[in-house]
């Protein structure tokens, strides 16, 4: 590693591990392996690489490497089946990991809920590896009429009233959806935001919603905003909440998208280009992607659960129970995690969002300890971009979210650019990093969300 994470000496980037592993295998002479992810409608994503030959003393290294890679592909693409082609040794161990008692039980259960079918791992010979079969669809950029754009964040909710592409009103309201068990709390907060925006327009033609989680046909399948809502209440009151609220607002057209995809859409609209990877660093890490044709891919893009740190001693995510995943590197949790190493003591009674604000205020006042936190996140991010580039064709990376507000975002961008220049010069020439201005950064997603519904349908 040429660029060190100043507050995290044990950080071991996935991108560097992949590069080094690939080089070592090439020297030793390896065997072909393919990792395929199958999702709805028969779509398949296949990733081919090489590992050390089975049975030459490298089986543990092979398994750990493919386990991390398969998990990454699963959360980038989404699916109910992993197919390992080329190594029965690796495949059978992976099959055990994705059982109800295995280390990846959370991942299997999550995907089963999203795709509403049992999760499985299949092991086949290399010649039986399935071919990639993908699809993409146009999204957003519809700004005609009077629209509401709503961005449901975990710490605050943002809403905009947009008339013919111009935001005439925007507001942010602090709320606590992730700690509330009663879905009525969420319903009332969302409806209040809608009514507030509607009061600044002559009518409401459409509602576009950017929200963390997984959505199928505007239905909420899985979402961290409703983390505390009991499962029976989730199915009864939450799954159709956005559809129900749109009916309450006058039965207007509604379109719901993952907040990461809306981040990418906002960037694509601003840049007038495609191949945009959007990253929102807020309560969690949200990822989204618009391909080179300006379309969304139907991939899951849940980068919060994609490993970026290979170190087994890395911080564990409380929800998934796994280590080294993006949520602890590109969110307010990352700032809080790094504060002790920087010598900053945060009041335990404060909410995560309040702790972030304390660090940001210190940074504004010239505190070098706070600057080191954002420098470290920037190093994390530079190496993560190189890893994400294995799975995405990227021309632009756009970052949004509260963590990037103020001077901290500029440091994150500068440090991640340095990592790409020093470690991955080919990517540095190809990929441009962007951070929007302050007002766009704060409410840009809700405005882009307003463009989701197509009134011409």
Write out the DSSP string of 252-307.
Answer: --EEEEEHHHHHHHHHHHHHT-S-EEEEEESSSEEEEEE-TTSEE------GGGSB
Kindly state whether residues 434 and 408 are assigned to the same domain. Answer: yes
**Cα–Cα distance for residue pair 432/30, rounded to 1 Å:** 34
Q: Has residue 438 got a pLDDT over 80?
A: no
> CATH number for the domain including 358?
3.30.420.40
> Where is the domain boundary, 201, 222, 257?
257
Kindly state whether residues 329 and 416 are assigned to the same domain. Answer: yes
Judge whether 456 lies within some domain. Answer: no
Condensed to tens digits (0 to 9), the pLDDT of residues 45-72 reads 999 999 999 999 999 999 999 999 999 9
Kindly state whether residues 145 and 237 are assigned to the same domain. Answer: yes
Judge whether 247 lies within some domain. Answer: yes
The count of domains in the chain is 3
Kindly state whether residues 94 and 242 are assigned to the same domain. Answer: no
Q: Has residue 443 got a pLDDT over 60?
A: no
Q: Which one, of 193, 35, 64, 3, lies nearest residue 123 by Cα?
A: 35
Kindly state whether residues 306 and 338 are assigned to the same domain. Answer: yes
**Cα–Cα distance for residue pair 198/352, rounded to 1 Å:** 31
Q: Has residue 130 got a pLDDT over 60?
A: yes
Helices 438-450 and 259-271: crossing angle, nearest 10°? 110
Kindly state whether residues 397 and 304 are assigned to the same domain. Answer: yes
What confidence category does residue 385 fall into, taking pLDDT thresholds of 50, 70 and 90?
very high
> Where is the domain boundary, 83, 103, 128?
128
> Where is the domain boundary, 108, 128, 148?
128
What confidence category does residue 269 fall into, taking pLDDT thresholds of 50, 70 and 90?
confident
Condensed to tens digits (0 to 9), the pLDDT of residues 414-433 reads 999 999 999 999 999 999 99
Kindly state whether residues 314 and 414 are assigned to the same domain. Answer: yes
Kindly state whether residues 404 and 271 are assigned to the same domain. Answer: yes
Q: Which one, of 183, 10, 138, 45, lies nearest residue 456 by Cα?
A: 138
Question: 134-143, 165-174, 383-392 — which is least confidently predicted?
Answer: 134-143
> To the nearest whole percent, how much of the chain has pLDDT over 70?
98
Judge whether 455 lies within some domain. Answer: no
Q: What is the pTM of this model?
A: 0.86
Q: Has residue 114 got a pLDDT over 80?
A: yes
Q: Has residue 143 got a pLDDT over 90?
A: no
Helices 59-77 and 105-115: crossing angle, nearest 10°? 30
Q: Has residue 23 got a pLDDT over 80?
A: yes
Condensed to tens digits (0 to 9), the pLDDT of residues 327-341 reads 999 999 999 999 999
Residue 162 burial by CB count (10 A; 0-12/13-18/19+): exposed, middle or buried? buried
**Cα–Cα distance for residue pair 435/401, rounded to 1 Å:** 10
When pLDDT is averaged across residues 301-320 and rounded to a whole number, the result is 95
pLDDT score at 405:
86
Kindly state whether residues 70 and 91 are assigned to the same domain. Answer: yes
Tell me which residue range forms the domain holding 48. 14-128
Question: 7-21, 48-62, 211-225 — which is least confidently predicted?
Answer: 211-225
Judge whether 452 lies within some domain. Answer: no
pLDDT score at 400:
81
Judge whether 269 lies within some domain. Answer: yes
Kindly state whether residues 300 and 437 are assigned to the same domain. Answer: yes
Kindly state whether residues 277 and 416 are assigned to the same domain. Answer: yes
Judge whether 2 lies within some domain. Answer: no
Q: How many helices (H) and strands (E) does the chain have?
A: 14, 17
Judge whether 9 lies within some domain. Answer: no
What confidence category does residue 200 fall into, taking pLDDT thresholds of 50, 70 and 90?
very high
Judge whether 292 lies within some domain. Answer: yes
Kindly state whether residues 300 and 426 are assigned to the same domain. Answer: yes
Identify the residue whose tokens are 């009518």: 203
């Amino acid at each position: 590693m040429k660029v060190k994470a100043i507050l995290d000496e044990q950080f071991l980037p996935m991108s560097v591990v992949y590069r080094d592993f690939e080089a070592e295998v090439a020297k030793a002479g390896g065997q072909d392996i393919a990792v395929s992810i199958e999702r709805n409608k028969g779509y398949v994503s296949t990733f081919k690489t090489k590992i050390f030959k089975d049975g030459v003393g490298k089986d543990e290294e092979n398994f750990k490497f493919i386990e991390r890679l398969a998990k990454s592909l699963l959360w980038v693409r989404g699916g109910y089946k992993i197919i390992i082609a080329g190594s029965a040794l690796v495949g059978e161990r992976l099959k055990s990991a994705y059982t109800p008692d295995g280390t990846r039980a959370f991942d299997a259960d999550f995907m089963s809920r999203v795709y509403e079918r049992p999760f499985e791992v299949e092991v086949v010979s290399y010649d039986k590896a399935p071919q990639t079969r993908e699809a993409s669809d146009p999204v957003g950029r519809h700004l005609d009429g009077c629209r509401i754009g709503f961005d449901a964040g975990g710490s605050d909710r943002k809403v905009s009233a947009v008339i013919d592409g111009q935001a005439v009103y925007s507001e942010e309201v602090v709320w606590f959806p992730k700690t509330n068990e009663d879905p009525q709390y969420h319903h009332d907060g969302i409806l209040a935001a809608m009514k507030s925006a509607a009061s600044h327009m002559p009518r409401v033609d459409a509602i576009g919603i950017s929200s963390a989680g997984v959505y199928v046909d505007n239905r909420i399948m899985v979402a961290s905003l409703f983390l505390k809502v009991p499962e029976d209440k989730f199915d009864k009151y939450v799954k159709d909440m956005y559809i129900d609220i749109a009916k309450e607002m006058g039965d207007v057209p509604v379109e719901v998208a993952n907040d990461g995809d809306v981040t990418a859409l906002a960037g694509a609209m601003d840049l007038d280009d495609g191949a945009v990877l959007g990253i929102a660093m807020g309560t969690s890490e949200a990822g989204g992607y618009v391909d080179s044709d300006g379309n969304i891919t139907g991939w899951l893009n849940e980068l919060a659960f994609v490993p970026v740190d290979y170190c087994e001693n890395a911080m564990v995510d409380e929800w998934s129970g796994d280590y080294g995943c993006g949520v602890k590197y590109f969110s307010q949790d990352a700032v809080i995690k790094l504060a002790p190493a920087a010598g900053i003591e945060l009041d335990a009674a404060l909410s995560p969002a309040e702790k972030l604000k304390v660090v940001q205020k210190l940074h504004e006042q010239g505190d070098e300890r706070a600057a080191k936190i954002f420098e470290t996140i920037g190093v994390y991010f530079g190496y993560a971009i190189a890893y994400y580039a294995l799975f995405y064709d990227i021309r632009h990376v756009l970052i949004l979210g509260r963590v990037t507000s103020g001077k901290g975002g500029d440091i994150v961008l500068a440090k991640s650019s340095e990592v790409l220049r020093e470690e991955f010069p080919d990517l540095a020439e190809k990929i441009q990093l962007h951070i929007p201005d302050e007002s766009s950064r704060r409410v840009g997603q809700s405005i882009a969300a307003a463009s989701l519904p197509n009134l011409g349908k």
